[in-house]
Structure 1
Amino acid sequence: MANPKATIAKAFENLQRSLSPEHRHTFASTELKDVWSALQEIQISQRKRNSAQNLRRIEPLLRGLEKYAKVIEVLCNGTPYLSFIWAPIKLMIQLASNHRDIFDALLDAYADIGSALPRFDRYGKTFESNPEFQFVLAEVYSTIVEFHQRAYKFFQCRAWHLMFLSSWKDFKARFDGILHTLEKHRDFVDREASSIDMVEDRATRLQILEGITESQRQTTALLESNEEINRLAQFHSSISWLGVDDKKQEAERSRRLGRKHSGTCEWVGQVPEMKAWLEDNNLAPVIWMKGKPGAGKSVMCTVVIDTLDNIESLNVCYYFCNNEDDGRDNPSERILGVIATQLLRAHPELASLITNEFILPGLSSGLGQLRTLVPKLLELQRYTRIVIDGIDECSKSGQKLLLNELQSTCLGPKLHSKILISSRKEPTIDAELGKKPNICLDENENVEMDIRRYVNHKIQLVQSNFVGELEPEIFNQIATSIVDKADGMFLWVRLITQELEQCFCGRDLEECARSLPHGLKEAYGRILDRILDEDVSPQIRSLSVRILEWMSCSYRRLKIHEILDGVSIHRDCTSLESNTKLHRRVFDLCRPLIEEGPSNTVVFVHFSAQEYILKASYKQGGPFIRPENAHLNIGHSCVAYLNTSFRLLPQNSTEEERIEWIFKGLHGLQTYANQYWLSHIVDYMDQVVAQKLEVPEYLLQHLQEILKYSKAGLIGDSMQSTGTANANCKNNIDRLASLRRFSGIYSLASEVGNFREGLKRKDWTRKQIGVVSLETSASDPSWFSTACHHYQLALEVLLNPDFSKYPTQGLKSFRDMYGNSAFTCRYIHCNRATDGFDSLQQREKHESKHRREYRCDIATCVVFMKGFATRGQLAKHAKTYHPRIADETTLADAARAVKKQRDSVRESSTPATPQQSQQQPQSVMNNRPQGAEAPWTPAEGALALKVADRYLAAASDEDKNNMRMSILGGLDPAKSRRYQAQGIDPLSVYYQNHAVVSLRQEKQRQLSNQQEGQGMAASSPQSAVPMQQQRSGNPNAGDQAQQPQQQMLGNADSGFLGAVDPSHQNANPSATNNPSQRGPAAIDSDEEPYTIKCICGNSKDDGNTIYCESCDTWQHIECFYPDNVEEASRDDFSHVCGDCNPRPVDRMKVYRRQVAKQIIKSGLNDIDKMPERPLFQNISYGGPATENTDINQDFDFDSFLDHDDESDDESASVSTSPSDSFWDEIGIDPTPFNAVE
């Protein structure tokens, strides 16, 4: 037992460390009357505002502390400790008084503490010098101070009122533990004086106090573990809820920072405008960094971000816009989502706010919620800087919306945040930011110096290739010429120096230096001239142009393998084979216009390069890439590929064939072509109509062939013109109007388009994702969904780490190429249906957002993000995995138990008369709970240990290791650590429990046989008759046998070492589906009934069930899929029960497996109930061991241990042949103990 004064001192020091210097000084001089005065002032103030709250709730606490102070003065003499148990109360009620909900929560907490606080005035004088009483005083001080310390942290956060209620919800478990500790100490010193009398001897008191301390220590350890698990779960749930991939922004930042040359851009932090922007005030909240294309704005932004990262207590958020944002009318949702995600990663404690205020109420993460969330997150930070680069890459309409959204959402007097916008000088942006402070990179001396430093470095690299061939002066002239013509554009310099690096002789180098282009447009034009040079073969020219077409006119950023496969298919090569696939070095044809981007993509070197290719006038007046030609070539490649992928349908190939084709890389274009082929064809046909072009014959042939994808068997000729259709064409209404003259294609396109549009409006709430995928394929009027579905299945097989059919190096290369973003969303209307996720887990989190679900209240639950389709399923889950834990036995109850055990031992030493021995079992039965098993005698305990040893000896090492791992997996970490520290092997405890149930079952069998032999009615074989009752000489024992007995088998809630609460028992198994008959613990007003209807005949829920939608019932997964449990547990697994889909099943084998599982589960449950010392060492028993209760008189243990399954005894008819299973070698004959085959 710890020293009381040391306990108080330690608690005081912990609190002191968490306080500010100001509060330490204030608390030391605060008296209890100051708290009363503060309460009166608050009451007066609230009445003036007509917002008075019931302050009397705190009165019991203050009265209790006043009495407590008088008792603990002995321990606190000469120390400042005492004032710190009430001073924090004054501070916190003053801070919370202006926030009604927070003040109310705080008052409730103080009221709970006041009611749990021992009333020391009753026993203070009596036990004033009692060491145990002083120990309790110290523990109470420590507990109260712990509450103050944790509550104080809530009030010290910036904008604490925003986070308080969310954090308070998470604090509830810890607060309940604090109250529970106080209540335990209250039981020791208050209300039950008789409890003290019963434990008047010091040894017992010390034992009880040590038990309280140990219980408190274990509870604290478990709470800390659970809190950490809860924090992680909330963090991951919040990241998933926000639903943005901020990792792409990190990759963009790293890629752009890699372009920075050492020693450049460092001046930006010294610019006066930047210094003012960095200051922690509300001045100059927006700064605009502007410059011409290629001036190095993106690299400059990354330098600013890195600088901000090194400033302590400052948060930096950033977003690099790209051409994907150009297709969004308002990219604000994505950008605000990234800002929120970056703040959350920097401060994981914010997950509590997101979880409790947004996720649990079931709110979406749309723009409306982000407008509320982001300001809250910013207000909680000391100060934040936000950097947005490339806003000019967004659409014209999106630019203005985004600027307004950022300023209205991220700026404000309480937010302490500022924004840096980086862009070209676009008219829309200039109208919004023209009057804001700005940093202009055009004609900037610092930029010129950086360019000179960069050019000198690059020219030195070029010079190293011509050592001794050219004079150094030539390279100096080239460097000077490049600097003079750069005009402040880093990108131009980069393009030119890369061109110089491609010169392999002095003449070419001098020629290149003499003809330097002026500006970026000339630089781009010069690169394109090289691509179309007449000296280049037509095949190479065509290949280069097709690469640029795919990159500039695709509907999303493409992966490397998608561009390679798309370019490989053209007019003269309409199918993809191993010998027609292109190597990635083909991209060198278009460098330096393009470069490899993040996540296995290829991107333009700059946004202006794509603009030039598509919009700028090139040579004869038109753009280099004409949209009609690009959509023709891309659309043709997609259609031609899809015609070859018809073999992916299950009726046309086997799974092994599909996996082999995909492994060879012949179907990498599937996801893009399947989703966007029609869009490219329609865009091309629109140009055909507008420009009155002729449709190429080769395209019409492939369009005719693709009609085979129609399930309706469309026979219409895609080339057949329909004048009536053209007459009714309305381009502004019918998106497919340009296809009307081709009736077959128009019909197929209409059906596919209508189907995909309908998916967006369909309610998938009550469908599991596996059902969604199957229903999507089944309801699609074409075979496109089916082909894509089977491609995805085969792809995920290849990406599975356990798949090893092909060579390791080949699989590694395949996964490196296709693994990134391979797990596509299975809702095909989603934009992530073609650009997926890196892992199965990321996809599952994303898909959960498509469904409106009932979510588990426990954020730490593994299925929290998945949710449930109905309230009944949620209630079933909560009942199975999150049951309410019964209150622990009070200290008074523990004391009475100690006294009762001691008295029973004393009585057992006195010989009993025949009358006493005959009556005692009846009284013992009456005192036991109904249905409880009789206590075990030492002889029975010793026998159970022998049986357990037999089990252990019979089991192989492999069996024991597997069983031990299974048991440890079912224990919580705290218990596992406790068993390990005390040297307890859970496997031994399990075998001891199993031995007990075996003995009871065998005794029931022997008793039944004896009763049959005497002409007596045997008791139900499903009930085990208590041993104590049978040992009795009571002639009314048979009447007592009619009392409800505990069911030993078929009830996973029942332990092997005694009865559980009768309210949890199911005397009638058929009543388990009726909530009114399941006992009070199972009744929930919100719960919908659910039915367990399984082939095993057991209606108990084992926590691992599967749903049959056909008949709205549940079955045990292990009964239907014993060898495939993991796959059957997946959400997308399709299941139909045995009644709806009859199939041959070995029902006896299923029954045995279910019974064995119940035995194991019960053994696991009882491990938690086992004493932390060897089993049966100190077993209490109900009465003296007289000759009438001689255990050997009624039960033949020798025959039990030496039982022979081949006995001629009729009772052996219930036995089965021995098996190799370790629990059958002991010789137990009831069928449920047979091995599970």
Structure 2
Amino acid sequence: MFRQTHDATISVEISNQTGVPNADFVAETIERLCSEAASGSVLDNQIENLSIEQYQLDAEPLNSSLHIHLKGLKDVLNRRNMEKFPLTNLDNLKQCVVNLQAKQEAERRQRGLMRLDCFLLRFESFGELIKGLPGVTELMGFIWATESCPDAFSDLLDIYDQVGRTQPSLAMYKELLVNGYNLTQILAAAYKDVILMNKWLVIYFQQRRWTELFSITWKRHRSKFSNIIGRMASRFDLVSSRASVSQFDYFLNESTLKDAKFDDTMESDNLGRWQTVRAWLKPTEMENEQYHLRKISATSPDSCCWLLNDETFQEWFGPQGTTATLPRLLWLDGKPGAVLASIIVEEARSRKPASTTLFFYFKHEDNDRNNFLSMARTLLMQILEQNPHTLDYFYSKCCSTGGALLTSRTLIEDLLKQALGNCDSAYIVLDGLDECCSRKERGDIVKWFRAMIEDLPSELRDQLSCVFISQNDSARKDFRDLARITVDAKTNGNAIGAFCKARSEELVLKLQISDKRAKEIADSVAASAEGIFLFAHLLWENLCGQSSIYGLEQEMQSIPSDLDKLNKIYSRIMQTIMNKSVRAERKEALMILGWLVCAKRSLKMHELQTMKSIDLKRKAVQFDQKRFRVDLKDLCESLVDVREDGTIELVHLSAKLYLANCEYLNVATEQLSLAMLCINYLNLPSFTAPYSQPAVLAGEYGFMEYATLYWLRHLEAGLRSSKPEQTVLHEDLAKSLGILVDQHWNNPSIEINEVSKSTRELLEPFSSCQNFPQIQLAVSLTDKELKHFGDIRPGQSALDFAAMISGIRREIEIVFQSNATKGTDDQATDHDLVLKYGPPRFRCPRFSCDYFTEGFSTTEEREKHVGRHERPARCMDEHCSGSKIGFATNVLLERHLRETHSAKTKEQSYEYPTEEEIIESQKEDVFESGPESEPEVAAQPEHDLVLPVVVPAPVIDLELSEAAPRPIQSEGANKRQKTKQVYSCEHCTKTFSKKFNWQSHLDSHSSGQRYECPSCSEVCARRSDLSRHLKLHDPSSSVSCGGNLSNGLRWGCGKTFARADVLRKHHESKRGRNCIAERDRE
């Protein structure tokens, strides 16, 4: 297979003319030829007798360079290939290819494995050159091994064929050595290119499900090879043309610049795709939560070693790549606050070789953290971040499905199943499942992951490992038959003891108590915690916050000893807050806690500061005068956490539940108060056009997004749980609502009678208001607007919030952008703006979109996102305008693909001929047609498919041919190209490709004879038009949609059409394509 020779005949033409030569000229010519022959013979002898060892290569730099390039490939190898690749040699590979060729020949599907010949020969020569280097077996093994998986034959073999043809032969390398060239850089560059190529191929074909992704993602992945093959071809030209050393140096420098430019272009394209996919997935940020929890447990790094050393955990967590007899599923149960999930995540991230680590922390009453959809979107984004090669697949789904956000449960499940199945190995950590939005949702999540992992084949059971962390409650049957670890005082006690010992040292330093007393306190707290890490953490926060030994001892005497430990510790913290000597501090602490208990989402620091700064008497936001100047933890003690991203959270769900039922807060009153705060805020004069930049600089709009989205939700929650004695609040709310509809009324086109009965009953406390009908309609339409994800027409909005927010955001963006262009002189202003609004964000205008609040870092990202709202369906062809502009519906996208790209996607698969058929075809005479001749096509029956005979291409003798690499020509490249003539009608916009049709059409514009239908009043311009029209009146010419299948069933809708051309148009429609689908499948 690898070597075939060709007989070559050399013909010499001898002239019949004779002449008398000049003697001096003949003598000079003979002498010159002899001299040249002698010098050529010397060079040939030197090359022939050359031993590589005689020309000492710069071994150390070359060896170092080759191993540096090799490291990039090693980094992307999975465990199996890392063990297999270095041991592969050329003989193994050749035997593999021979076996593969024999198998394909037996199956009549040969794919031209001859294309590997050039590659194998050239790099066998390369191996000869570097055989003296240490570790050469491993270096060459990583070249040969990738060749042993030729699965995507057609493209893969083409790539290796081109690579082989761009490599210098051993004779060329020897000639360079004879002429004094230093081959270190040339050999290193050649090795770098082939290793880089193999790296890209490994990344792609190492995926477990690459065969399912091939049709979607391979085209763009293959485009990476054009740059590297072009560089190989240029280097080949330099070697074959015996370029100078300076030319080689110039080429290397230029190649470096081109590589950097190519990498920048690819990186820019990938960044755009990544941003689009991230906006589509809208993942919940988990890294901040992981950082926060890890920081808590970092006080005692070895505190959770018991879990990592547990036999059941080790069996679940053990090395992936070993055969697992049971699915790797684990249930970790215990009381809330054990803080073990973050430890597992960090341990999984530290594994070598790296595995994909996925995690999600559920949170009660947080719509972004309490359901399957939010969890799945977040896990998909984590997979993308750790496996960038999945970007093209996600992007293709993003384009083809339409929609600015991924909301389809079916599509999300399919994507997650495909993405997890494609991971070489993955750890999945799901913490707080008991905080899901419903018992059913929790059961569905557990059931989905169990089915996904339990259904894996036995040889792939080590691929995915999933741990569920929750309380041991009535839902424990979801975890039946799973490996289980219970977290209690027995298992977690030592870990909490180590944590308490570390925190007690802080008391020694701060209050100067004795080491003995510090140890007693640590032991007491550890015993009281009973395995609940959160309890110990809160108690130590309270103890370390004491300012005297007396206060410390008072707190120690009140440590709870009953079962309701967390509520007791929360009660102690509230006692600390209420015992503050300054009344304002107590009032502000209760105000913050009330806001956090009732908030519909996590509040940001700038939002909370703006809420505090609202001055209703002055009808303005007094940000600089009224904002908090102290740390919130100083006011609310350890009940509140301020995260790194500026988010303010209660320390745990149990703290929220305690505060909602404690004596210090009335949730119904807090909800109504927060609703009134939002409404009064939106009634400020700064929210009436025209909007000004001074108002932006004053911090007037830091609470705008939250107030716009949630004023109604707080109103509903407060009214549903309010009591009759809260009539004062109702009266104040009625006044505020009246001002709201007066100031922001949008004159909707919808009638008042469209308000639902439930809305009328909910708003009954405001029935005495003069503008009660407007209040009802404002509440009803705002509710629909917040829930509706499509376009909202102006007449469907009762309030002008959309236009108001658009105008205000425009001013905010102008202020941020103008301040950014001023440079370092305005750093104080920049800090002030971030304090009032957070980092600059460019937000989506749709109320129902998650990016209405979160936004984007650039205007370009925001515009792309908004474009996906308006035109969600996208074409996958990057060079097509449909990829950037998009389509409003999937129907329009399907029509675009059918009309524009259908020819590109059609593929024909032909059966390869047998060896006997090839011999038989070679017996026939083949004549070459002239450049102007057209092939004659014999008439064939209408339904017969004539397959072309495939004749094998002649094999090139690599030893005789040192020609430059040949580009792979596309199908039909050698066919004569015809220029199509276009005939345009001067009377209308129609064009025709055939002259006869054009002339016939012109008759329809002429004022000559007209043809009238005898059955109706229709008048036709041409006789042919009349003939076609008469068929409408002829029942015998009618046709119907349908027919019989081979199994006796019927296909089609059965509808009757007057003419066949009308039936054809029907089959081109969406409904018609469904009619013929069964027929075409047969």
**What is the TM-score normalised by the length of structure 2?**
0.61
1:274 Cα deviation from its structure 2 partner: 1.4
Residue correspondence of structure 1 range 695-1094 to structure 2 within 5 A: 696-712=730-746, 730-731=757-758, 744-748=771-775, 750-751=777-778, 753-754=780-781, 757=784, 780-800=797-817, 801-802=820-821, 808-820=827-839, 822-837=841-856, 840=859, 843=862, 846-847=865-866, 849-852=868-871, 867=885
Aligned amino acid, residue 771 of structure 2: G
With over 3 angstroms needed to count, the CA separation of the structure-2 counterparts of 1:219 and 1:441, relative to structure 1, is: same
With over 3 angstroms needed to count, the CA separation of the structure-2 counterparts of 1:108 and 1:697, relative to structure 1, is: same
Aligned amino acid, residue 481 of structure 2: K
Structure with bigger RCO (C-alpha 8 Å, 6+ apart): 2
CA contact (8 A) 1:855 1:865 kept: yes
Q: Which residue of 2 aligns with 1:343?
A: 383
Asked if residue 332 in structure 1 is aligned to residue 338 in structure 2, the reply is: no
1:830 Cα deviation from its structure 2 partner: 0.8
Q: Which residue of 1 aligns with 2:567?
A: 521
Q: Distance in 2 between matches of 1:118 and 1:488?
A: 66
CA contact (8 A) 1:143 1:182 kept: no
Asked if residue 452 in structure 1 is aligned to residue 497 in structure 2, the reply is: yes
Q: Which residue of 2 aligns with 1:275?
A: 314
Q: Distance in 2 between matches of 1:117 and 1:532?
A: 81
1:275 Cα deviation from its structure 2 partner: 0.8
Q: Distance in 2 between matches of 1:856 and 1:505?
A: 69
With over 3 angstroms needed to count, the CA separation of the structure-2 counterparts of 1:507 and 1:324, relative to structure 1, is: closer
With over 3 angstroms needed to count, the CA separation of the structure-2 counterparts of 1:777 and 1:586, relative to structure 1, is: farther
Asked if residue 249 in structure 1 is aligned to residue 300 in structure 2, the reply is: no
Asked if residue 647 in structure 1 is aligned to residue 698 in structure 2, the reply is: no
Residue correspondence of structure 1 range 555-566 to structure 2 within 5 A: 555-566=600-611
1:234 Cα deviation from its structure 2 partner: 1.9
Q: Which residue of 1 aligns with 2:351?
A: 311
Secondary structure of residue in 1 paired with 2:600: coil
Q: Which residue of 1 aligns with 2:443?
A: 400
Residue correspondence of structure 1 range 56-95 to structure 2 within 5 A: 57=112, 61=115, 95=149
Secondary structure of residue in 2 paired with 1:820: coil
1:233 to 252, 256, 269: 269
Root-mean-square deviation over aligned CA pairs: 5.8
Deviation by residue 1:645-670 (Cα, 9 ceiling, x = unmatched)? x433333x5x34333432xxx33221
Q: Distance in 2 between matches of 1:591 and 1:636?
A: 27
My pick for the range that moved more, 793-802 or 753-762, is 753-762
1:523 Cα deviation from its structure 2 partner: 1.8
Aligned amino acid, residue 602 of structure 2: R
Secondary structure of residue in 2 paired with 1:438: strand
Q: Which residue of 1 aligns with 2:527?
A: 484
Q: Which residue of 2 aligns with 1:1183?
A: none
With over 3 angstroms needed to count, the CA separation of the structure-2 counterparts of 1:158 and 1:1076, relative to structure 1, is: same
Secondary structure of residue in 2 paired with 1:699: helix
Q: Which residue of 1 aligns with 2:221?
A: 170
Q: Distance in 2 between matches of 1:73 and 1:314?
A: 35
Percent identity reads: 16
Deviation by residue 1:347-371 (Cα, 9 ceiling, x = unmatched)? 4344354446765887975554443
Q: Distance in 2 between matches of 1:858 and 1:483?
A: 62
Asked if residue 424 in structure 1 is aligned to residue 471 in structure 2, the reply is: yes
CA contact (8 A) 1:292 1:424 kept: yes
My pick for the range that moved more, 334-343 or 26-35, is 26-35
For structure 1, the 5+ residue unaligned runs are 190-204, 717-721, 765-774, 874-1073, 1078-1237
Q: Distance in 2 between matches of 1:637 and 1:681?
A: 11
Aligned amino acid, residue 557 of structure 2: R
Aligned amino acid, residue 500 of structure 2: V
1:635 to 662, 675, 687: 675
What number of residue pairs does the alignment pair up? Answer: 801
Deviation by residue 1:180-223 (Cα, 9 ceiling, x = unmatched)? 9769989999xxxxxxxxxxxxxxx6679999997798568625
1:603 to 649, 664, 681: 649
With over 3 angstroms needed to count, the CA separation of the structure-2 counterparts of 1:373 and 1:216, relative to structure 1, is: farther
For structure 2, the 5+ residue unaligned runs are 1-42, 74-80, 894-988, 993-1082
Secondary structure of residue in 2 paired with 1:425: coil
1:633 Cα deviation from its structure 2 partner: 0.6
Residue correspondence of structure 1 range 134-213 to structure 2 within 5 A: 150-151=197-198, 154-155=201-202, 158-159=206-207, 162=210, 166-167=217-218, 169-175=220-226, 178=229
Q: Distance in 2 between matches of 1:88 and 1:258?
A: 42
My pick for the range that moved more, 549-558 or 166-175, is 166-175
Secondary structure of residue in 2 paired with 1:603: strand
1:693 Cα deviation from its structure 2 partner: 6.2
Aligned amino acid, residue 289 of structure 2: E
My pick for the range that moved more, 348-357 or 625-634, is 348-357
Q: Which residue of 2 aligns with 1:462?
A: 507
Asked if residue 371 in structure 1 is aligned to residue 413 in structure 2, the reply is: yes
1:498 Cα deviation from its structure 2 partner: 3.4
2:703 to 645, 653, 669: 669
Q: Distance in 2 between matches of 1:264 and 1:39?
A: 59
Secondary structure of residue in 2 paired with 1:826: coil
Q: Which residue of 2 aligns with 1:591?
A: 637
Secondary structure of residue in 2 paired with 1:782: coil
With over 3 angstroms needed to count, the CA separation of the structure-2 counterparts of 1:220 and 1:74, relative to structure 1, is: closer
Aligned amino acid, residue 802 of structure 2: S
Secondary structure of residue in 2 paired with 1:248: coil
1:117 Cα deviation from its structure 2 partner: 9.3
Aligned amino acid, residue 801 of structure 2: F
Q: Distance in 2 between matches of 1:551 and 1:129?
A: 76
Q: Distance in 1 between matches of 2:360 and 2:854?
A: 19
With over 3 angstroms needed to count, the CA separation of the structure-2 counterparts of 1:409 and 1:506, relative to structure 1, is: same
CA contact (8 A) 1:242 1:365 kept: no
1:557 Cα deviation from its structure 2 partner: 0.6
Q: Which residue of 2 aligns with 1:288?
A: 331
With over 3 angstroms needed to count, the CA separation of the structure-2 counterparts of 1:477 and 1:859, relative to structure 1, is: same
1:603 Cα deviation from its structure 2 partner: 0.7
2:486 to 440, 443, 451: 440
CA contact (8 A) 2:305 2:495 kept: no
Secondary structure of residue in 2 paired with 1:259: helix
Deviation by residue 1:832-855 (Cα, 9 ceiling, x = unmatched)? 213434555664565454343576
Q: Which residue of 2 aligns with 1:971?
A: none
Q: Distance in 2 between matches of 1:23 and 1:805?
A: 54
Q: Which residue of 1 aligns with 2:918?
A: none
Q: Which residue of 1 aligns with 2:720?
A: 686
With over 3 angstroms needed to count, the CA separation of the structure-2 counterparts of 1:75 and 1:1075, relative to structure 1, is: farther
Q: Distance in 2 between matches of 1:610 and 1:711?
A: 37
Q: Distance in 1 between matches of 2:876 and 2:129?
A: 48
Residue correspondence of structure 1 range 528-567 to structure 2 within 5 A: 528-531=574-577, 541-567=586-612
1:494 Cα deviation from its structure 2 partner: 3.1
Q: Which residue of 2 aligns with 1:266?
A: 305
Q: Distance in 1 between matches of 2:879 and 2:284?
A: 24
